Amino acid sequence: MEQLATPLLNGVIYGLLLFMVSAGLTLIFGMMGILNFAHASFYMLGAYFAYALQDVFGFWPAIIVSPLLVGVVGILVERYILRRVHRFGHAHELLITFGLSFIIVELVKLFFGNYPVNYRVPASLDFAAFTMGSLDYPAYRLFMGIVAIGMFVAIYLLLSRTRVGIVVRSAIHRPKMAEALGHNVPRVFMGVFGVGAAMAGLAGAVAGAFYTTSPNMALELGVLVFVVVVIGGLGSLEGAMLASLLIGIVTSVAVGIDASLADFMALFGAGDLAREIGGILVLKVSSLAASLPFALMLLVLLVRPSGLMGDKE
């Protein structure tokens, strides 16, 4: 059982990290109908800004300032680029965020180089929280989980308990009505976009120290985030949480499984047959771990196209 506990915990924390990034994406889509391809680049920017500021301000100020900077970038993008393309339709908005994601990655390569940078966990957090079995469990992982949960609680309270939250929710469901009532809906959109970006930036600032910080991180996470929102249902925060945890746990657990599908089929006496067929069946589940989220997505699309918690279109 100990063997399961570590991957499970890792999976939950990774899932929470995925949620931090996909929450913003799903909110922005639910509200503005824009699928922001550049969302994962905000995650990357968060990591890089934190890395750059760390030398100047130290770790803790850096991870607070970095998301704020990313939020500003998000607001600028919405105000000066997305709004201009809005009249051409959703396809153009999609393409422009795609182009932006491209440019942001290239700019990062320009300023920081096309290789991973040395953004590391600070000494103050670099200890073992507890021991599980024979392995020490890093405290920083728990830190990441705590930040993610804290963020979720904050956003949830903001949306459901505050006046700002009510305005935002009304703008999600009935933008024209909200505008008729005198609320500045374009500003709300800008704000949501900025906050979404900041959330992704926070995720990056925190995760970048633990995982590798490189220009590739946007792409690697970006695709997973899309899988999360398809599985969870676009526009649904609860769906995003559920799907993130699901994917986090499945991938983490799978990485530890050294058996293959053929071994599983051997339990039914079909082992030799499976081995003869070969191909995917003899691959270890651990090597397939990276492709499991996509397979899950295709499964969900077959069975429940609007996502686990999305509205039926």
Q: Which residues contact other proteins (rule: CB under 8 A)?
A: 29, 35, 81, 84-85, 88, 90-92, 94-96, 98-100, 102-103, 106-107, 109-114, 219, 223, 226-227, 229-230, 234, 278-280, 283, 287-288, 290-291, 294-295, 297-298, 301-302, 305
- Least distance to other proteins, CB of residue 151, Å: 24
Residue closer to other proteins, measured from CB, 98 or 137: 98
Q: Name the minimum Å distance from CB 215 to other proteins.
A: 11
Q: How far is the CB of 276 from other proteins (least distance, A)?
A: 14
For the record, the structure tokens of 183 come out as 């609320």
Closer of 128 and 298 to other proteins (Cβ) = 298
Is the Cβ of residue 9 or residue 81 nearer to other proteins in the bound state? 81
| Longest Cα separation, the chain | 71
To other proteins, the closest distance from the beta carbon of 54 in angstroms equals 17
Closer residue to other proteins (CB): 54 or 144: 54
Write out the two tokens for 166: 């009510």
The span from the CA of 89 to the CA of 13, in Å, is 37
Query: Measured from the CB atom, is 35 or 245 closer to other proteins?
Result: 35
CB of 288 to other proteins, least distance (A): 7
Of 152, 311, 173, 160, the closest CA to residue 241 belongs to 152
> Which stretch of DSSP H or E encloses residue 283?
none
Residue closer to other proteins, measured from CB, 103 or 164: 103
* Coil vs helix vs strand at 311: coil
CB of 269 to other proteins, least distance (A): 25
Nearer to other proteins, 270 or 283 (CB): 283
> Residues near 66 by Cβ (< 8 Å), separated by ≥ 6?
46, 49, 50, 53, 201, 202, 204, 205
Sequential DSSP letters for 252-281 = HHHHT---BHHHHHHTTT-HHHHHHH-GGG
Question: Exposed, middle or buried by CB within 10 Å (0-12, 13-18, 19+), for 19?
Answer: buried
- In whole angstroms, the minimum distance from the beta carbon of 246 to other proteins comes to 15
Q: Please, what is the minimum distance in Å from the beta carbon of residue 19 to other proteins?
A: 17
Task: Give the nearer residue to other proteins in terms of CB position, either 206 or 229.
Answer: 229
The answer to whether the CB of 100 falls within 8 A of the CB of 74 is no
Q: What is the DSSP letter of 194?
A: H
Alpha carbons 242 and 246: distance in angstroms, whole number: 6
Do residues 11 and 249 lie in contact, with contact meaning Cβ atoms separated by under 8 Å? yes
